[in-house]
Chains A and B, each alone.
Chain A
Amino acid sequence: MMIKILGLLLLVITQTASAKVSIDHWQTSQGSPVYFIQTTGLPMVDVQVVFDAGSARDAEQYGIASFTTTLLDTGAGAWNADTIAQRLESVGAQLSAGVSTDMATVSLRSLTEPKLLNSALETLQTVLSKPRFAEADVKRDLSRTLAGLKQREESPAAQADIAFNKALYGNHPYAHDSDGDLKTVSGFTAAKVRAFYQQHYVAANAMVVMVGNLEKPQATQIAEQLLAGLPVGQKPAPLEDVVLPKKTPLQHIEFPSSQTHVLVGLPVSFRNDPDYFTLYVGNHILGGSGLVSKLFNEIREKRGLAYSASSHFAAYLKPGPFEIGLQTRNEKTNEALQVLNQTLVDFINNGPTEAELKASKQNITGGFAMRFDTNKELAGYAAMMGFYHLPLDYLDTFTQKIEQVSVANIKETFKRRLPIDLLQTVTVGQTVTQATAVKTGAK
């Protein structure tokens, strides 16, 4: 058991506004890690139970991790979906469950008034440890999920995302969309969902995050009780490494939309990446700082080519995608793509100026307190730090690590980590010939 900051100090800190975060950390008797941040301003608590059961654990059954989370509250213990919903909603509690690439997260937001909180926690515990996965519920939700997948085909943005991840990750578990596809999802059965659940929803694979107005003993008891019904089980095998894609020509998907969605990128950075902060600051300048980034300036401010143009490094357990994205009217696709590539290549070759770096650092460090000024954001940070085994002083040292980044670091790191010739490019939209461009009055 490890306790980072003493409770007494914590109390003082949270009552006066401060950009310091104190995270309490221990393990349940079954060995599941717990992360607790006490905030005393409001009579509410956010509880998250996180499993290493994101879409990366789907194996061949693309979408099974996500589908499992949607079924948790459709029947558990003695209760059907109506009863579960009534139990939660009659005490004003909010339950949600879903997956990201790496994680499955079941979240509860509740008032801390004991009668209300206890009822909500009992529901959460039952949903986590005794889901029914009844045939009728599985069948109904399967048909809803398939409808959702069908509707996804209406969206050029969704089609671009799917093709982009496939281009970056090939056969790696990060390659498919977390919702799965029509073919794999059609094959889901109650037995398959139960098997996925039994393997992954175990104490050895679980973590509890709590942020809110609780005392430590209460938090200890809640974490213990929430996971008590789960077998200890074991962690899933480590994920395979990501192999960089081969040099590939631009991939275009013809789609009946007025805009073409453009995505350019490569798998690059992961959570424990020693280059993480250098890449983060560099990207902030390139395309991560909203209305003032280089990409935004070149694409939108100077040329009016798109409403949004941005880039980011998604950091997962294994290298997540570096992604630059924009949407432009079909007839401007080539021009927009050219500007995008030129901006990126210039940045990789030349790095930022000292002035750009300074402005970017001022933005990141000056706005540091705003990263976690809500319980919800604090819970997100705690879950991230816990899941990826980041040091508990991650936020305390964040500003310092930003300050240490130099122009030379950025230049060297971008060159080394972003081999230009391997960048993957996906476009989704309508091909416009010169004749039709004139006919539709394109400028």
Chain B
Amino acid sequence: MKFKSLLILPFCLPFLAHSADVKVQEQVLTNGLKVLVKEDHRSPVVVSQVWYKVGSSYEPGGITGSSHMLEHMMFKGTDKHPAGEFSRIIAENGGDENAFTGRDYTAYFQTMEKSRLPVSFELEADRMRGLHLLPEELVKELEVVHEERRMRTDDKPRAKTEEHFMAMAFSNSPYKHPVIGWPADIENYKVADLQAWYQRWYAPNNATLVVIGDVQAAEVFTLAQQYFGELKASELTPLKPQTEIVQLGERRMTIKLPAQLPYLMMGYKVPTLKNAVNPDEAYALEVLAGVLDGGNSARLSSKLVRGKQLAVTASAAYDLTARLPELFMLEATPAKGKKLPELERALKNEVVLLQNTLISTAELERVKAQVLAQSVFEQDSMFYQGMKIGMFETIGLGWKKADEYVDKINHVTAEQVQAVANKYLLDDQLSIAYMEPQGMANKTTGQ
């Protein structure tokens, strides 16, 4: 499972004070494990997530995808529990579980009836330091990951387009690599590679334990100490920065694939909250994305899909919580009879409009109203609340930044949105891909 970008929209509204007074409680164990608890007493359920500060953007060339491969192997046995037993025990306790790897994190989770939290802690603590990598298990799981790659990327024209596009848009940033890894790298993982990766990153002082649910924070801290307290900390070698070089002009590519519809991807190099010199710029970019694509009334739907009918789909995306500088993405599928260059011009015109003209008060207010509402809606899901806290913490912003989000968005002005459009949405910082479909013949036979 991979998550690449998720909309992160926290809480705290003046007129919704009673729902916003639930605070995250924090305790750091002596071995460095940070424990974050948010009580939510609506159902007798608990979500437990262990987040590691490692993901595909930590990987050097040659072993791309090893964070994801290691995620798979984390279910394949420890010194104490043989392969498969982790999942069996969780299942017998009524739990749901899985794991996901992104560019900047690897996380494991269980959702359980609240009294079963110790079961999850015992198993997660065990595999934090006690993983036992077996060559015969790796051989089988490599095939599984190859299948996962075929399913997610190789047989999906747009996913494949995106993979090639990212590899072009970034020169030396590790964001150029797919989370799942390049096929040749996957083909050649050795137990020693994964062992080294595990040794380097899986330690209490490189992890965050997030617990959301019908629990008492004090009791969770005691349990955490009981199960994770004895684990040894590691000496962590700092990550090399791999800072992307400055782009010196537009980049453009054509991708030819068996597909039915052409597709356009455009991406501008932009900073994110973690690395922006002025963090306000990241919030302004977030609002800008909302102006273009924050619903059916936003500009891309209203003007390009309905108004001019140039596109059948058009979207904008910005990942505020990426650890490294990111791409501000524009993507579209042309309407029948429309060509990719025409669509590209239309999207660029929208950028120029944002640069030359202030967005309207109504648009700004609409984006803010949506952010406010979303901050309440997302509390319906304990899992999502955990995602938000875990992600902010893991990319190094700290969970408190998540609480500031609504307020920060509320302070964004039309002038700031115009300023970031002028500063970052520049032709020389742009990468463009045209996906041009090649024929595909399907035929049916009995056998």
Contacts and interface: CB of A to CB of B under 8 A. Distances in A.
Interface of A: 14, 16-19, 39, 41-44, 73, 81-82, 84-86, 88-94, 109-111, 113, 116, 140, 143-144, 146-148, 150-151, 153-156, 159, 163, 249-259, 289-292, 297, 300-308, 327-329, 359, 362-370, 372-376, 443
Interface stretch (B53-61, B188-196, B304-312): B304-312
B222 interface: no
A93 B366 CA distance: 11
B37 to A, nearest CB: 16
A443 B139 CA distance: 12
B258 A17 contact: no
B377 A306 contact: no
A256 B258 contact: yes
A368 B94 contact: yes
B338 to A, nearest CB: 10
Contacts of A93: 373
Contact of B442 (A109, A143, A153): A153
B427 interface: no
B445 interface: yes
Given A253-B443, A300-B144, A291 B97 contact: yes
Contacts, number: 253
B445 A366 contact: no
A366 B44 contact: no
Given A151-B260, A328-B147, A376-B380, A143 B336 contact: yes
Contacts of B305: 144
Q: Which residue, A94, A289, A367, A375, has most C-beta atoms of chain B within 10 A? A: A367
B41 interface: yes
B373 A111 contact: yes
Contact of A369 (B45, B312, B381, B447): B45
Contact of B111 (A159, A303, A370): A370
A260 to B, nearest CB: 10
- Across chains A and B, which 7 residue pairs bring their CB atoms closest together, nearest first? A366-B94, A92-B373, A304-B143, A85-B297, A367-B94, A85-B296, A373-B43
Sort chain B's interface into a size bin.
Answer: 35 or more
B38 to A, nearest CB: 13
B413 interface: no
B151 A253 contact: no
Given A251-B446, A366-B95, A109 B377 contact: yes
A253 B444 CA distance: 4
B415 interface: no
Contacts of B296: 73, 81, 84-85, 88-89
Given A86-B366, A251-B446, A17 B214 contact: yes
A426 to B, nearest CB: 10
Given A41-B19, A88-B295, 9 more contacts: A43-B16, A43-B19, A109-B377, A113-B15, A250-B446, A304-B139, A329-B146, A363-B91, A370-B45
A249 B294 CA distance: 49
A148 B155 contact: no
B319 to A, nearest CB: 21
Interface of B: 15-16, 18-19, 40-45, 75, 83-84, 87-88, 91-98, 111-114, 116, 139-148, 150-151, 154-157, 214, 258-261, 294-298, 301-302, 305-306, 309, 312-313, 333, 335-336, 362, 365-366, 369-370, 372-374, 376-377, 379-382, 440-447
B117 to A, nearest CB: 13
Contacts of B16: 43, 111, 113
A307 B87 contact: no
Most chain A CB neighbours (cut-off 10 Å) among B98, B335, B380, B381? B380
Given A144-B312, A147-B335, A150-B260, A255 B442 contact: yes
14 contacts: A41-B42, A82-B297, A85-B296, A111-B373, A150-B260, A154-B261, A249-B446, A252-B444, A253-B444, A255-B442, A304-B142, A362-B93, A370-B45, A374-B380
Given A85-B297, A369-B44, A359 B91 contact: yes
Nearest to A253: B444
Contacts of A302: 140
A308 B112 CA distance: 23
Nearest to B40: A41
Contact of A91 (B84, B92, B93, B369): B369
Contacts of B155: 155-156, 257-259
B157 A307 contact: no
A253 B43 CA distance: 47
